[in-house]
Amino acid sequence: MTPSDMQPGRTPAQLVRTEAAALLALAERLEGPMQAAFERAVETVIACGRDRGRVVVTGMGKSGLIAQKIAATLSSTGTPALFLHPAEAVHGDLGMIARGDVVLALSASGETEEILRLLATLKRMGDALLSFCCNLNSTLAGASDVALDVSVPGEACDLGLAPTASTTAMLALGDALAIAVSMRKGFRAEDFAELHPGGKLGKRLARVHELMHAGEALPRVTPATPMKDVIYEMSRKGLGMTTVVEDGRLAGILSDGDLRRLLEHEGAACLDKTAAEVMNPRPQIIAPGELAARALHRMEERKITSLVVVDDAGVLQGVLHLHDLWETELF
């Protein structure tokens, strides 16, 4: 048979629609007959976390690849998780499972030999067994405390053999489980930032204290400092402003704009004043633990280029300048 004699398969668009249909069917089950089972799975994972247990995700072949991604998503959203290769498990990796852990097993058929071989041990060692299966009458589903249905109308593969739509449904259900658990636990952007310190994402979720000017780089004068010395401090530190500090606490700030307006109104006579006489006693402040994204929003909202960083007691910690945010790629 030559290539020209072969019947054309479905178009790429039709293949994608097949997988989309599988996701729509999954969504309908989550809103209907599978809603209670999914809720039990969420509660099981949350209870496991309260007891300092982990979610051990396992699967063989293509399901194993999806299991690795689900474990990574759980971990990155505040639920400690790890991947257990079922074939390696019988050669010592079962030691990864501890009392109190929840096992999540992925198998389209529910009859994956490598997983069934582990069932008795998994049930004995783990706190609970959850599963994603296309066949709820399978051995794995029957042994599970909660079995979730990932059946699909058909695979995208023309032969109906290659795991495609079924693995897509597994991935989507794993994402739904991870996010539902994180939302129920009150997982915040600040928590996400703590777990993603590197790369572009880490930069975007940086905290104020990581970027602010502090120590010797922080411009500061006292309320009694003469204006000539105030100007010198502002020029020396190069932030276009200076803080005014008394006994470690923030008393006010002076900016380039304040100086220009002062010169326009009073001319050279302004140089005879002290910092306390011309400072802004109510500057915009931010806490050191705030996200850089919130600092940028406040600067844009107030049309200012810097924020003074103080702790809950009003003690000066640093200054965050607009230029410090460029490297976070927030713009």
Confirm if 50 and 81 have CB atoms less than 8 A apart.
no
The single-letter code of the amino acid at 19 is: E
Q: How many CB atoms neighbour CB 2 within 10 A?
A: 5
CA-CA distance, 211 to 202, in Å (whole number)? 12
The single-letter code of the amino acid at 229 is: D
CA-CA distance, 201 to 89, in Å (whole number)? 34
Establish whether 265 is an annotated binding residue.
no
CA-CA distance, 83 to 74, in Å (whole number)? 11
Three-class DSSP labels, 285-304 = EECCCCEHHHHHHHHHHHCC
The single-letter code of the amino acid at 272 is: D
Confirm if 321 and 250 have CB atoms less than 8 A apart.
no
First to last CA, the chain: 58
Instruction: Please calculate the CA angle 146-68-148 and round it to the nearest 5 degrees.
Output: 20
CA-CA distance, 231 to 246, in Å (whole number)? 18
Residues annotated within the binding site for Zn(2+) are 85
Residues annotated within the binding site are 85
